[in-house]
Chains A and B, each alone.
Chain A
Amino acid sequence: MDIEQRVRKVVARQLKLDEKEVKLESEFVRDLGAESIQSIELVACFEEEFDIEMDEQDALAVRTVGSAVEFIKKAIEERGGKTQ
């Protein structure tokens, strides 16, 4: 499963949505209805799923599913891991 698929799976599971509803351009708050506690949980899930660190400022910049995918890819590369 590639990073995008894994991200969409995590998002769907956390926000209790169908994976089909989770698109790259979907905004977490505006389109997917993520509330503030859910946003914190999403960050924690991404950190655990991909073994990365995301601080508050990083999380603020990640507004869409697509930007989350990009952030995670970059974090994995910086860690020296493979993104696929």
Chain B
Amino acid sequence: MSQPNSYGNLTQEEIEILERQGCSSQDWSQVKVADGFNPARVRNVQFLGRVHVGRFTGGIKLAGGLEKPSGIYCATIVDCTIGDDVRISNVGVHIANYDIGPNACIENVGTMLTRPGATFGNGVKVAVLNEAGGREVTLFDELSAQFAYLMCMHRYRPELIEKLLEMAAKEVKKVRSDIGKVGAGAQICSTPEIIDVNVGPCSIIKAAASLVNGTVLSSVEAPSIIESNVVAEDFIIAESASVTGSAHLKKVFVGQGCQIGSQFSAENSLFFSNCEAFNGEACSVFAGPYTVTHHKSTLLIACLFSFYNAGSGTNQSNHMYKLGPVHEGKLERGTKAGSFSYMMWPCRVGPFSVVLGKHTRIFDTSDFPFGHLEAGPDGKCSMIPGLYLATAGTLRDAEKWPKRDRRRGAIKRDIISFDIFSPYTVGKMVRASSILSSLQDSTDRSVEEVSINGAEMKRVLLRTSQKFYRTSIEMYLLGKVLAKCEKALDGGIEEIRKAFAAEAGAVFSRDWVDIGGQLMPKQRLLDVTNSIEGGEITDFAAFCGEVAKIYQAFEKDEWAWVKETYKEFFGRALETLTKDDLVEAAESYRRAKIRFLKQVLIDAEKDFGGLSRTGFGQDGSAEDLDEDFRQVRGLYDENKFVKETRANIEAVECRVAEFKEKILAVL
């Protein structure tokens, strides 16, 4: 932070003015002031120890258009450096061991103190996922979802973990200090206790109750807010985040763009980009990006989530009354839990699944994305894989997440892959189809249900689920091939075949992985982790550089996967496709995509159907019911999502028609 260039001793005249204004010091020679210091703006201040004071010439602009003069009023200041045009007033106990940046405003605080050797929340070990320990993640200011994920989840590689711990320790060492920081432009008011907390520039801390051992990262472009009776201990709150409404945090990381409030309490938990947590509770949770819980009576415990939504009253158990709270859950990206759903750990759920009811049996449906998982009266999980593929909810999710990225500022620490359809999910669909097909072939028709990794499935639906997956697999693969063709079409068949080649540097893996919200080929993950173990990547910045490179390589890695998978799925290498084959591929894409979108429209229409109108037209007639519904919900044909989806269908028709016309003309 910027400080005045030079400090000098107070003149005798300045000391006399200060003393007349109620100020005192045990040793005025320890109080240094900047050139242009104005003692008129320092009243009723006790100076203890070494204090450097900047110039006070301007004012501080506060909320509501209020402006107050800079200066120090009614405070005890101990061993601090105070920047230009800072305003400090009404300090109940003292501000001790702080470096306060220019234009900061600190009013009506009790104790602000930094103790020797403070690390400001850095170095805190958070017992994520396993409440009894074993997967601790070390907090540090710049922690990213990817780094935390590896430290938490890859415990089967002790050497890797050791190296990650060393990297984290280096980051912690950087911030260790006897002096805390309040950044330029920060505003702190009405907060009784701030101990060992670094406060970033332009952050707002207003009426918090207690902040101990933490860091509030913030910047001009991405300010953070802490308000209204928040109690936080052992924490890091990142830029653009807000923690308000009597939230209680203990050993918690709040990532960029997160919103936590309305009495939410969290312990030993990590919340990465754009999470939202209100009204409920979290314990030992790894909340990857866009994990959302809004409702009272909702407990998230001992689980890995991302792109998750918790219905009201959602609950889990990690304790079997045997050896402690040692059980863990993994809900892969996009999973949703219905109201009052319950899950008993350990369990693992495939991406974009919906969990309903009270599950008291252990199951693993990670191989079956977009599944319907409903608990029966006996607590067993009944599964319909792929049911949530062609649904309005899934498509709307795909559109909403990128739009809801609240991270401001240039630095976005978590790398987020938003794609609903990717080698990660489509790869799972391909494998799932194979598993379901084998089961269908090997199961007699007399059998009503089959069991798959602890979940039950109606035998008659084995074929149905394969159909669900097939439409999406075709749509994805053919769509990617069509896009490649379109770009190269002007160059003729040879140019198209060149375009089909894998790009230099692309990495193919049959399996893709989701590393804290970033999708990548498994080989890329192995390369990074091997480089860490091997000593090629030795610090956090280098790690971030590597994962950023992987993100930049996403499209070419994805294409390498599409190319191989197309060959396996359709039985033809792309390079062997003729003009007629490409026309047929485009036509197959059109059929698959339009089938998919029409299924989405059918799903959306259910929200306008007869049963959905139950209760409308209160006190009125049948006509009033329809009118009431129309006024409140609108008409199906006028719904924005419906109109966009229909437009999408038309666009697909036009796109394929143009492609066919062009390919026939060019080739």
| Residues of A that sit less than 8 Å from B by CB | 29, 36-37, 40-41, 43-45, 47-48, 55-57, 60
List 13 A–B pairs whose Cβ atoms lie within 8 Å, in order of A's numbering.
Answer: A37-B374, A40-B384, A40-B387, A41-B460, A45-B460, A47-B464, A48-B445, A48-B463, A55-B595, A56-B390, A56-B595, A56-B598, A56-B602
Q: Which of B460, B598, B606 has the most CB of A within 10 A?
A: B460
| A33 CB to nearest chain B CB (Å) | 12
Q: Which residues of A have CB within 8 Å of B464?
A: 40, 43-44, 47
Interchain CB contact under 8 A, A41 and B599: no
New contact pairs (4) apart from A44-B460, A56-B595, CB-CB < 8 Å: A40-B464, A44-B463, A47-B463, A47-B464
B460 touches A48 (CB 8 A): yes
B372 proximal to A (CB < 8 A): yes
Bound: A47/B611 CA distance, A: 27
B662 interfacial by beta-carbon distance below 8 Å: no
Q: How far is the CB of A60 from chain B (nearest CB, A)?
A: 6
A-B contact count (CB 8 A): 33
Q: How far is the CA of A27 from the CA of B98 in the complex (A)?
A: 75
What residues of A have a CB within 8 angstroms of the CB of B461 in the complex?
Answer: 40-41, 44
CA distance A56 to B471 in the complex (A): 12
B157 adjacent to chain A (CB < 8 Å):
no
Q: How many of B's residues come within 8 Å of A, CB to CB?
A: 17
Report the minimal beta-carbon distance from A82 to chain B, rounded to whole angstroms. 21
B173 at the interface (CB under 8 A from A): no
Measured between alpha carbons, how far is A49 from B374 in the docked complex, in Å?
25
User: B458 an interface residue at 8 Å Cβ cutoff?
Assistant: yes
- CB-based contact B602/A57 at 8 Å: yes
Chain A residue contacts of B598, Cβ below 8 A: 56-57
Q: Which 6 A-B pairs have the closest CB atoms?
A: A44-B460, A44-B464, A56-B599, A44-B461, A45-B460, A56-B602
The docked-state distance in angstroms from the alpha carbon of A40 to that of B385 is 12
B262 to chain A, nearest CB (A): 33
What residue in chain B is nearest A14 (Cβ atoms)? Answer: B460
**A interface, by DSSP: helix, strand, loop or mixed?**
helix
Residue of A nearest to B599 (CB): A56
Chain B residues numbered 378-397 whose CB sits less than 8 Å from any CB in chain A: 384, 387, 390
Q: Give the residue name and chain of the A residue nearest to B600 (CB).
A: A56
Which residue of A40, A41, A47, A56 has the most chain B CB atoms within 10 A of its CB atom?
Answer: A56
Q: Which residues of B contact A43 (CB under 8 A)?
A: 464
Contacts of A57 in B (CB 8 A): 598, 602
Q: Which residues of A contact B384 (CB under 8 A)?
A: 37, 40
Q: Which residues does chain B contribute within 8 Å of A56, judged by CB atoms?
A: 390, 595, 598-599, 602
Determine the chain A residues whose CB is within 8 A of the CB of B458 once the complex forms: 41, 44
CA distance A57 to B606 in the complex (A): 13
B372 near A37 with CB under 8 A, answer yes
Rounded to whole Å, the gap between the CB of B391 and the closest CB of chain A is 11
In whole angstroms, what is the CA distance A47 to B595 when docked? 18
Smallest CB gap from B462: residue in A: A44
Task: Note all chain B residues with C-beta closer than 8 A to A40.
Answer: 384, 387, 461, 464
From B372, B390, B445, B464, name the one whose CB has the most chain A CB atoms within 10 angstroms.
Answer: B464
Residues in B neighbouring A41, C-beta threshold 8 A: 458, 460-461
Q: Which residues of B contact A55 (CB under 8 A)?
A: 595
Distance in Å: Cβ of A79 to nearest Cβ of chain B: 16
Residues of A within 8 A of B387 (CB): 40
Q: A34 to nearest B CB, angstroms?
A: 12
- Measured CB to CB, the nearest residue on chain A to B461 is A44
| Smallest CB separation, B12 vs chain A (Å) | 87
In the complex formed, the residue of A with least CB distance to B464 is: A44
Within the complex, the shortest CB–CB distance from B393 to chain A, in Å, comes to: 14
Q: Mark B148-159, 1 if CB is under 8 A from A, else 0.
A: 000000000000
* Nearest Cβ on chain A to B376's Cβ, whole angstroms: 12
Within B441-471, the residues touching A (CB, 8 Å) are: 445, 458, 460-461, 463-464
Instruction: State in angstroms the CA–CA spacing of A39 and B374 once bound together.
Output: 16
A45 CB, min distance to chain B CBs, angstroms: 6
* C-alpha gap A81/B101 in the complex (Å): 85
Output the least CB separation between A80 and chain B (Å): 21
Q: Which residues of A contact B599 (CB under 8 A)?
A: 56
Report the minimum CB–CB distance from B97 to chain A (whole Å).
63
Q: Which residues of chain A come closer than 8 Å to B374, judged between CB atoms?
A: 37
Docked Cα-Cα span, A60 to B604, in Å, equals 13
CB distance from A31 to the nearest CB of B (A): 13
Q: How far is the CA of A57 from the CA of B384 in the complex (A)?
A: 19
Q: Complex: how many Å from CA A18 to CA B611?
A: 25
Q: In whole angstroms, what is the CA distance A60 to B390 when docked?
A: 15
User: B510 to nearest A CB, angstroms?
Assistant: 30
CB distance from A13 to the nearest CB of B (A): 10
| CB nearest to B611 among chain A residues | A29
Chain B residue nearest to A49 in the complex (CB): B460
Q: Report the Cα distance A79→B460, complex, angstroms.
A: 21
In the complex, A39→B606 CA distance in Å?
Answer: 13
Report the Cα distance A57→B461, complex, angstroms.
Answer: 18
What is the bound-complex CA distance between A40 and B374, given in angstroms? 15
Whole-angstrom distance between the Cβ of B469 and the nearest chain A Cβ: 14
Quote the shortest CB–CB distance from A29 to chain B (angstroms): 8
Q: Which positions 536-581 of chain B face chain A at CB distance < 8 Å?
A: none
User: Complex Cα distance A6/B276, Å?
Assistant: 52
B602, A60: Cβ atoms closer than 8 Å? yes
C-alpha gap A29/B464 in the complex (Å): 20
Contact with A along B458-500 (1 / 0, CB 8 A): 1011011000000000000000000000000000000000000
CA distance A40 to B390 in the complex (A): 14
Chain B's closest residue to A48 (CB) is B460
Closest chain B residue, CB of each to CB of A43: B464
A29 vs B610: C-alpha distance when bound (angstroms): 11
A24 to chain B, nearest CB (A): 21
